[in-house]
Amino acid sequence: AQSVTQLGSHVSVSEGALVLLRCNYSSSVPPYLFWYVQYPNQGLQLLLKYTSAATLVKGINGFEAEFKKSETSFHLTKPSAHMSDAAEYFCAVTANTGNQFYFGTGTSLTVIP
Amino acid sequence: SQTIHQWPATLVQPVGSPLSLECTVEGTSNPNLYWYRQAAGRGLQLLFYSVGIGQISSEVPQNLSASRPQDRQFILSSKKLLLSDSGFYLCAWGRVSYEQYFGPGTRLTVT
């Protein structure tokens, strides 16, 4: 069985501050992990993915995430927040033999000017 | 490149009316296809997925159904809508151990 938990349904940061969105996973098999971003009334857009290669993964828009097996975490970070980063962020997990994704409940990011 | 389309973009339907949402994918063959529902302020709920024509797996018992009449076409239907069917419906395509790509979504309001 697989699942992800996103800690903090709402996160607020000041423009220019560090963004840290937390995701912990549970998986009985080696996981593949993903972060998606959703802007209002739009579909989800892939930010980055971990598929058992490098543990530090760089994505679009300056985001990156680090896979830490010992902590079962895959937290999303960005050094400096922009106003355009305000959106809903979802963490997801699947297995290398899986057809299904398991999504977290999402974290709403607010950027304060 | 692959693209995924959904229509309509928005829909307002009365309780008890039928529903048909369509999703099509271009630029790939034999994709896995998925229907998700997103209720206001909540995460994604997987409704159905399909690994091939005519193969549908249902994740949540409800008054919705799905069909895959062609390789790159996925349809979500209901014979009689309920108020609780309101939400944002997302179609996605993907492959085993591969990322999923999402369509633009359909906003359904049942009145």
Task: Phi first, then psi: give them for residue A83, nearest 5 degrees.
Answer: -60, -35
User: Which residue in chain B is spatially nearest to A104 when comparing CA positions?
Assistant: B43
Cα Rg of chain A (Å, integer):
13
Average pLDDT value for chain A: 92
Strand partners, A45: A37
A contact test, residue of B102, B106, B109 with most A CBs within 10 A = B102
Alpha-carbon distance B90 to nearest alpha carbon in chain A (angstroms)? 7
Kindly list the strands in the beta sheet with B19-26, ordered across the sheet, starting from the edge strand earlier in the chain.
B3-7, B19-26, B73-78, B64-70
- Size of chain A in residues: 113
Provide the percentage of residues in chain B whose pLDDT is more than 70.
97
B71, with CB counted inside 10 A (0-12, 13-18, 19+), is middle
Provide the percentage of residues in chain B whose pLDDT is more than 90.
77
- Residue A54: its pLDDT value, please? 86
Which of A41, A42, A101 shows the shortest C-beta gap to B100? Answer: A101
Provide the percentage of residues in chain A whose pLDDT is more than 70.
97
Q: How confident is the model at residue B61 (pLDDT cuts 50, 70, 90)?
A: low
Give the pair of three-digit tokens for residue A105.
């409940």
Do B103 and A43 lie within an 8 Å CB cutoff?
Answer: yes
For residue B73, pLDDT beyond 70: yes
User: Residue A61, SS3?
Assistant: helix
Region of poorest pLDDT, from A12-16, B18-22, B40-44, B91-95: B40-44
Beta carbons of B24 and B72 less than 8 angstroms apart? yes
- Residue A96: its pLDDT value, please? 67
Query: Higher model confidence: residue A31 or residue B62?
Result: A31
Predicted confidence (pLDDT) per residue in A48-98, tens digit: 999 877 899 999 999 999 999 999 999 999 999 999 999 999 999 987 666
Alpha-carbon distance B21 to nearest alpha carbon in chain A (angstroms)? 15
For residue A8, pLDDT beyond 70: yes
Q: How confident is the model at residue B41 (pLDDT cuts 50, 70, 90)?
A: low
Alpha-carbon distance A98 to nearest alpha carbon in chain B (angstroms)? 6
Q: How far apart are CA A58 and CA A47, in angstroms?
A: 9
Q: Please compute the mean of the pLDDT values over residues B84-104 and round it to a whole number.
A: 90
Q: How confident is the model at residue B27 (pLDDT cuts 50, 70, 90)?
A: very high
Q: How confident is the model at residue B99 (pLDDT cuts 50, 70, 90)?
A: confident
Beta carbons of A22 and A73 less than 8 angstroms apart? yes
User: Which residue in chain A is spatially nearest to B107 when comparing CA positions?
Assistant: A41
Q: Please compute the mean of the pLDDT values over residues B70-93 and round it to a whole number.
A: 95
B90 CB neighbours in chain A (<8 A) are 43-44
Host H or E run for residue B97: none
Angle at B102 between CA A56 and CA B49, to 5 degrees: 105
Average pLDDT value for chain B: 92
CB-side neighbour CA atoms (13 Å) of B56:
18
Give the pair of three-digit tokens for residue A27.
């998986």
